[in-house]
Structure 1
């Protein structure tokens, strides 16, 4: 109606009205088409990357923007690298493997991305921390990749200081900012204490490990496990919030072991507490009826530490 009134106001003849009507309709359709095909995910790759190995995740080296769910899925798109280059076809196939076929995606990358060797400093830090995924290391000034690493290096550190002292500068340090990439299991919705985690309760994404807490990185680590404390939606699931696998339960008969000098001694006992491997629990020696403390070393086995009420 608005278009018709405008055409009448301009006092155009029937033929011109028809022509301008077609133009307006074309522009309207063009705008609608542009909105319908607007990218829901943008993937940007540089001209060259230096991967940590021949099998990596897209999110370790690409910049991803768009709808968060799509970004999370695309971040874990697997890339198999060989031949010294990464092609657009490989990236598209990896996105399809993540169930993103048919999603409007803008892929900004050259015809092929050149593959180099892993950054020496990043590789040394990753291996020293026994980290299987990428560690991005950004020193605040150029540094020799062979510079000694600080003791106590561990995953989750946000930065480290490298000692680059020389005879002229005996106390000179370079700060290196670290980003620890890792697949993470994340809660889709709030999870309650005591709740058993199901596959549909969580999802996987590639995130940044910025804590010393050990985070779950696969569905197998959390599926069927019980939560010790609540977990908020969107928060990675830490291994410490899961009820551990108890291999000894209160009332179970167990084997008590102890080493006296060079002699190993075993006896029958009964657990008074439950425990996982590494836990210290109380047990009763069934021969002497005495209560002793020991460390759970396996299913039904406890290594004696000390007695609690006398006796051997």
Structure 2
């Protein structure tokens, strides 16, 4: 009985499991927004690939995505609303005090991400979190 169980476990361990994953049907360049018509399903044994369309559609490619290749979670992210060299508002809020000044973004990012920016009046470089209106909250 033990020998039969051991053989069954060895066979189960060597059997590859396949699942449907999503792959691009065309080359999607970095910074492009992914649409439903850009994707197809493919059977694969790749465990790190994305398989749910909600994890891809409407998101931005962070790297180039090639046809037929698996898409990993780090390859996509929310669309950037701030680009490098954009003029933005720098906002400092503490208690009832709110200070707003003009700045220039030194990076690119989506809502909630931290990027660097330059205060245009003092030429000081700071880091802050991108808000939904495209301004940067400084701490």
Select 1:297's aligned residue among 122, 131, 135.
Answer: 131
Distance change (3 Å), C-alpha of 1:229 and 1:255? same
For normalisation by structure 2, the TM-score amounts to 0.58
Hey, what's the Cα distance between the residues in 1 that align with 2:114 and 2:55? 27
Aligned residue in 2 for 1:259: 93
Task: Report 1 or 2 for greater relative contact order, CA contacts < 8 Å, sequence distance ≥ 6.
Answer: 2
Hey, what's the Cα distance between the residues in 1 that align with 2:125 and 2:99? 17
SS in structure 2 at match of 1:240: helix
Q: How far apart are 1:248 and its partner, in Å?
A: 0.6
Alignment of 1:1-312 (within 5 A): 186-187=22-23, 194=29, 199=36, 201-204=38-41, 215=50, 217-218=52-53, 221-222=56-57, 225-226=60-61, 228-230=63-65, 233=68, 235=70, 237-242=71-76, 244-305=78-139
Hey, what's the Cα distance between the residues in 2 that align with 1:297 and 1:257? 10
Hey, what's the Cα distance between the residues in 2 that align with 1:251 and 1:269? 9
Aligned residue in 2 for 1:83: none
For normalisation by structure 1, the TM-score amounts to 0.30
Aligned positions, number: 119
Determine if contact 1:185/1:216 at 8 Å carries over to the other structure.
yes
Q: Which runs of 5+ in 1 are unaligned?
A: 1-183, 306-312
Q: Which has the higher helix share?
A: 1
Hey, what's the Cα distance between the residues in 1 that align with 2:125 and 2:108? 15
Determine if contact 1:204/1:218 at 8 Å carries over to the other structure.
no
Q: Which runs of 5+ in 2 are unaligned?
A: 1-19
